[in-house]
A and B are shown apart, each in its own frame.
Chain A
Amino acid sequence: EVQLVESGGGLVQPGGSLRLSCTASGFGFNTYAMNWVRQAPGKGLEWVSSISDLGGSKYYPDSVKGRFTISRDNSKNTLYLQMKSLRVEDTAVYYCAKGSDSGDYGPKWLDPWGQGTLVTVSS
């Protein structure tokens, strides 16, 4: 069974930094792209970042480009999201999700998703 478990969320002040982790099991982690998607309280889904199977390609929307960095350690089956210069509007549940393929040409669809970790940016 594929399992994705996020960790690292918490309360951080505006302008601060935080690193999220996602530990994967139950599939060949180094053969699939991985993704982060967030959901602000009471709002819809927003794709945050994707990384290809070997980490050679990374993708971001304009809203986080330059502030967020996605990475992975295939030896540890772990995905990361380093977030800096955090803003109040970054407050959300952050989900880790497995990509549909190697991800060399960007994200197509996501399955499955972890249960999410809450990031709250507030003073």
Chain B
Amino acid sequence: QSALTQPASVSGSPGQSVTISCTGTSNDVGSYDYVSWYQQHPGKAPKVIIYDVSRRPSGVSHRFSGSKSGYTASLAISGLQGEDEATYYCSSYTSRTTLVFGGGTRVTVL
């Protein structure tokens, strides 16, 4: 049950857009549309911002969007703001009926 692969960090200036990739295998991301994304600020609990690849929970900014192609899912953040500075984790349902997370990506707003 290897973790999904995410870049360790990405950065952007306020107002810019950034994209975080999340690469899995045929046993998880490649076979199921159950990819979710979580935002975690330091010292806080994670919060879901995208589920089922591209759906946004109510109350989550439209600046967050999700997509998937093959074995790779992506989270895009547009109009980067200071409050977006956090660590982002992807997650996927797997063929073993388990849940696997990515290693996390720290987003820095320059």
List residues of chain A with CB under 8 Å of any chain B CB.
35, 37, 44-47, 50, 59-63, 95, 100, 105-116
Contacts and interface: CB of A to CB of B under 8 A. Distances in A.
Given A44-B89, A108-B93, A59 B48 contact: no
Contacts of A61: 1, 98
Interface string B27-50: 000000010101010000111100
Nearest to A114: B45
Given A62-B1, A108-B36, A108-B51, A47 B46 contact: no
A108 to B, nearest CB: 5
B51 A116 contact: no
Where chain B touches its partner, the secondary structure class is: strand
Contacts, number: 72
B46 A107 contact: no
Interface string B85-110: 00001010100011111111000000
B3 interface: yes
Interface residues of B, number: 24
A106 B97 CA distance: 5
Interface of B: 1, 3, 34, 36, 38, 40, 45-48, 51-52, 57, 89, 91, 93, 97-104
A109 B93 CA distance: 8
A45 B22 CA distance: 14
A45 B47 contact: no
Given A111-B48, A111-B57, A113-B46, A106 B101 contact: no
Nearest to A110: B48
A63 to B, nearest CB: 8
B54 to A, nearest CB: 12
A108 B110 CA distance: 34
A108 B98 contact: no
A45 B38 contact: yes
Contacts of A110: 36, 38, 46, 48, 91, 99
